[in-house]
Structure 1
Amino acid sequence: MIIIRDGYNPINPASLSGTEKEVYDQKMASPTPYHYDSAEELLFELRLRAAIVESARALERSNVSFASFSKSRSNAAYWTTTSNGGFRLKQNVRPSAAIRDIYANGRAYAFECAMAIVIVLYKAVLDTIGAEAFDRLFADMYLYSWEHDSDLPLITVKGKRQTYAGDVIYYSNPDYDPKTPQWQGENVVKMPGNMLYGHGIGITNEAGIIRELNEHRKRGSKVSAYLLDQVTYPNFSEIMSEMRTDSRGLPADRHWPADWIGGRIGSRIQFYA
């Protein structure tokens, strides 16, 4: 059930994209209440979820490779590949350009599945908020496993719960072959129609993810890979707020005195001189 604080919901489901409408309809029909301060906040979530789905599809088509951290590689024009397999943004390179290069020049890149998920999320945020806001928020970008900028806040909820397109879930492979530790599990993006995207596996259903993981178990193992009861997703309202404020917490679309700062209280900005 979707509950908007002011009670006004001008969203016309017929105007939503396929992914947006699927999430909207599923949340409306859910017995779990989902609270939003405004219809704008709900629409931002729907758009970002749809962008996550499209970002995952695009990464699957990009010809990037799956690799362990020790074999990670990146385009040296944009990134420095660190000794632990991370990617550090080079000086004077725009974060938006560096993220887009992963998609445009996929053959130059190789990384493991957790980093792939973070890249998918960054690209989705870029496509949702635009390059100007993205470059301002993520100026010192560093990609490594699940590490991410504080301006890309993520929420992880443990326990059984309904998941939606754009969520990130994890399949654990407890009896993985120790010779291939990169297959101890798979982070996947929930796609429309109960499909899943996993880096190194592609877009498939749950049975396909489990089958692939089970092929990388210890010899003779009878313990199957399984879905972990947790879900991760962006803090949509926080990202929407961040894209509208500068590094001092003031609205980014105006010029403010150098000695002014701002602080957010709920959806209201308080100014301090």
Structure 2
Amino acid sequence: MIILKDDSSTSSLKGLSPTESMILNAIEKSKIRYEYNNLKEIAFELKVRERITMNSRLLNSSAATFATFPNSSFNPYYWIKTMNGYRLRAGRRPSAAIKDVFENSYLYSFECVTTVVLIYYKSILDTIRPEYFDRLYSPMLIWGHNFNDAMYMVTYEGIDNIPGDVFYFSNPDYEDPIWMGENAVLLEKDQYFGHGIGIVTHDKMVEALNTLRKMNAVKSAFLLNQTTRLDFTELYKYS
């Protein structure tokens, strides 16, 4: 359900892409109240969510590989590997470094949490001015849950199935800790992107994780009842 505080109507939104229209439809059909100040604010969210799905697909088809931190790699022209993650080199622009992940993906290998962070950074960059992005996200350190506070990433209990949301498939009987679960971006109805697994349905994601359990495992992987997404209202201030 969408509530527009200025009493306008989403029917006034023109020129939406098919993906944006799909996302808008999902939000409108939700039982949760989503409040916006005006149409520009919801249009911004639709654009960022669209970019999240598109950048997920780009990474899926890229040469970037899955790796644990000891075996990971980032382009050394932009990044220095530290104990806590990859730190952007002095004098390098965050916007250029994030673009490089997608343009020279063969130089990168990382795990699924880092994948989500990179997708978020790229999707924000695609929707705000590069100079704003560089100001917001400098200095920059990336790996796992290490990211700039201005990312405005939030996680809450419950699932609403809006494309661009990120979900977690837990794998309690994992063999290798790197496969204790998979962070996955919802691209469209029952289509998830998880780095290292690919674009699959809910059932196929569970099936893939179940092949990565310890011997004699009895607990199946499952979709955790939580959602991670960007705080679009905060990010809109920089649009």
Quote the residue 1:151 is aligned against: 150
C-alpha displacement at 1:32, in angstroms? Answer: 2.1
C-alpha displacement at 1:240, in angstroms? Answer: 1.2
SS at match of 1:134: helix
Quote the residue 2:167 is aligned against: 169
Cα displacement string for residues 46-101 of structure 1 (whole angstroms, at most 9, x for unaligned residues): 111001011111111221010011111111100001235x1110010010111111
Structure number with bigger Rg? 1
Q: How does 1:84-103 map to 2 (within 5 A)?
A: 84=84, 86-103=85-102
Indicate yes or no: 2:210 matched with 1:211.
Answer: no
TM, length-normalised to structure 1: 0.84
TM, length-normalised to structure 2: 0.95
Whichever residue aligns with residue 29 of structure 1, its letter is K
SS at match of 2:150: coil
Contact 2:167 2:186 in 1 (8 A): yes
SS at match of 1:128: coil
Contact 1:172 1:225 in 2 (8 A): yes
Q: Aligned pair count?
A: 239
SS at match of 1:222: coil
Q: Distance in 2 between matches of 1:176 and 1:164?
A: 28
After the TM superposition, which segments of 4 or more aligned residues of structure 1 sit over 6 Å from their partners? none
C-alpha displacement at 1:28, in angstroms? Answer: 1.5
Whichever residue aligns with residue 170 of structure 2, its letter is S
Q: Which runs of 5+ in 1 are unaligned?
A: 245-273
SS at match of 1:191: strand
Q: Distance in 2 between matches of 1:21 and 1:131?
A: 26
Q: Distance in 1 between matches of 2:52 and 2:78?
A: 23
Quote the residue 2:127 is aligned against: 128
Contact 1:60 1:202 in 2 (8 A): yes
Indicate yes or no: 2:25 matched with 1:25.
Answer: yes
Quote the residue 1:58 is aligned against: 58
Relative CO higher for 1 or 2, CA cutoff 8 Å, sep ≥ 6? 2
Whichever residue aligns with residue 37 of structure 1, its letter is N
Q: CA RMSD in A?
A: 1.4
Whichever residue aligns with residue 53 of structure 1, its letter is T
Contact 1:48 1:128 in 2 (8 A): yes
Contact 1:72 1:81 in 2 (8 A): no
C-alpha displacement at 1:11, in angstroms? Answer: 4.7
Q: Distance in 2 between matches of 1:218 and 1:80?
A: 35
SS at match of 2:154: strand
Q: Distance in 2 between matches of 1:146 and 1:17?
A: 32
Q: Distance in 1 between matches of 2:35 and 2:45?
A: 12
Cα displacement string for residues 27-47 of structure 1 (whole angstroms, at most 9, x for unaligned residues): 222232211111111111111
Q: Distance in 2 between matches of 1:44 and 1:89?
A: 28
Quote the residue 2:182 is aligned against: 186
